[in-house]
Amino acid sequence: MSKTETKAAGSSLSGGASPAMEVKTALAGFLSDFNTFQSDISSRIQKQEDRLTMIDRKNMTHAHRPVLSQAADLDAPHKKAFAAYLRSGDDDGLRGLELEEKALSTAVAADGGYLVDPVTADSIAGVLRNASSIRSIANVVQVEATAYDVLIDHTDIGAGWASETAATATTGTPLLERISIPLHELSALPKASQRLLDDSAFDVEGWLAERIANKFARAEGAAFITGDGIDKPKGFLAHTAVADSAWTWGNLGYVPTGAAGDFNAVAQSDAIVDLVYALGARYRAGASFVMNSKTAGAVRKMKDVDGRFLWSDGLAASEPARLMGYPVLISEDMPDIALDATAIAFGDFAAGYTVAERPDLRILRDPFSAKPHVLFYATKRVGGDVSDFSAIKLLKFSIS
C-alpha cells in the first residue's frame, strides 16, 4: 500500500477518532516522509564526497610529478608567451593563456599593455623592498582604489572618578583624524634594440625586471623622504618641522643639536639621546634611525661618557647596524649634515608612514617611437604619506 493510500485509509478510519489521535497519525506520516527525504540527502552527499575523493586522488598524482615536469607544465607556457610579447610584440600566446590585460582601446587590445607575469613581478617587488629603505620599514598596504584613507585617533577619551551618590559628569570625546593617501603613477621607459631582443641568449625578462626595479626604487626612495606630494608620494621631510616642545598634530617634532650645522662639540652624543627619548615610549620598541652614509660616518665615531661606542655593527650579514640599540637604515636621499638640516630621523615608521600601492604592474611595448629601438613603458600606482605625526622625530642641526 502506498503512503497516499495509507494516509487516506487512516483518514477514513479516524472519522470517529479523537483530535489527539488525528494529530498523532498526521505526525507519524510526516516523520516517515522526513526520514525518506533525509536518506535521499545523505545518499547525494555520499556521492558528492566520493566524487571529490576521486578528484583529490588525481590532484595528488599530479602533485607527485617530478619538479621539472611540473614547472614545465605550469610556468613554461606563461613565460614563453610573455617573452614572445616582449621580443616581437606577438600577443597571441597571451590571449591564449587568457592573461589579464589593460585595454584602453577597443581597436587594438594591447594598447593598454599587459600585466607582468608573476615571476617578473616578484623580482621587481623584491628589489623594491631591498633597495627602498623607507618601504622596508614603513606600513605597506595594497589597495584597488585610487586612494587609501587612514583613520587616526590621536586624542584620548575622558575619564573621571565617580562616587556612589554624586552624578557622573560628561567626559571628553576622542577625535578621529582622516588622512587620505592618493596613488600616483610611477613609470619607467627602458629601451632595447630589436637585434638584441632577437638574440635568444638574451634574458629579456631578467633585464627588464632589473631596469624597471632600479628606476622605481630610486624614484620611490626619494619621494618617500622628500617628495612634495604633487604627482608623487609626500615624503615625511616635506611636512613642517617644529621644535618638539611646541609640537602639534600635523607637524613633525625636532630636537636641536645645540650647534649650527654640526653636533655640539662639548657633548656630541647628548643630541642622539635626546632624540631617542623625545619619541613616546609606545613607539620606541619598533623605532629605527634613518640617515645617509655621510651622517652615519660621523655618528659611528661617537662614544658615551664611559668611552663606549654608541654604534654597533650587526653580527650577521642581514642584521642592520644599531645605534643605542636601535636599527639604522641608510638612505642616501636623507640630507647631509648642514645648517638647519634635519639629517637624522628616528621613529616607528610602521606606525608613522604608510605606503599604498596597487598590486599590478603594467607593460606596454612600443616599437615605433624610437626606431630602431623598442621602448617598454612600465607603470605602477603608488602613494605614501605620514600617517601618525607623533611616531617620527627629527634631529635638526641648529642651535635651537
Verify that 207 and 273 share a domain, yes or no.
no
DSSP bridge partners of 311 = 323
pLDDT of residue 176: 75
Tell me the CATH number at 330: 3.30.2320
Q: Give 153 or 387, the one with higher predicted confidence.
A: 387
**Mean pLDDT, to the nearest integer, of 335-347?**
96
What confidence tens digit (pLDDT) does each residue in 172-211 have? Answer: 666 777 889 999 999 988 888 888 777 766 677 777 778 8
Residue 328 binned pLDDT confidence (cut-offs 50, 70, 90): very high
Residues 95-140: tens digit of each pLDDT: 555 444 443 333 334 445 556 666 667 777 777 766 657 888 999 9
Q: Which domain holds residue 137?
A: 79-152+176-229+357-385
Residue 71 pLDDT greater than 80, yes or no: no
Span 248-286, pLDDT tens digits: 999 999 999 999 999 998 888 899 999 999 999 999 999
Q: Which residue has the higher pLDDT, 242 or 28?
A: 242
The alpha carbon torsion through 310, 313, 318, 324 (nearest 10 deg) reads -10
pLDDT higher than 80, residue 35: no
Q: How many CA atoms lie within 13 A of 327 on its CB side?
A: 17
DSSP 305-322: TTS-BSEE--SSTTPPPE
264 closest CA partner among 398, 393, 380 = 398
Residues 225 and 313 in one domain: no
Residues 128 and 187 placed together within one structural domain of the fold: yes
Same domain, 280 and 205: no
Q: Is residue 18 part of a domain?
A: no
Give the number of residues written for the chain. Answer: 400
Shared domain check, 135 and 250: no
Q: Give me the CATH number covering residue 114.
A: 3.30.2400
Is pLDDT above 70 for 327?
yes
CA distance linking residue 249 with residue 132, whole number of Å: 27
What confidence category does residue 66 fall into, taking pLDDT thresholds of 50, 70 and 90? Answer: very low
Instruction: Mean pLDDT check: name the lowest of 156-170, 220-234, 253-267, 361-375.
Output: 156-170
Tell me how far apart the alpha carbons of residues 151 and 147 are, in angstroms, rounded to a whole number.
13
Domain count of the fold of the chain: 2
Least confident span in 68-77, 197-206, 310-319, 337-346: 68-77
* Residue 23 in domain: no
Shared domain check, 338 and 217: no
Q: Is the dihedral of CA 286, 291, 293, 298 positive or negative?
A: negative
Residue 335, preceding bond cis, omega within 30 degrees?
Answer: no
**Residues of the chain above pLDDT 70, percent:** 68
* Mean of the per-residue pLDDT values of the chain: 78
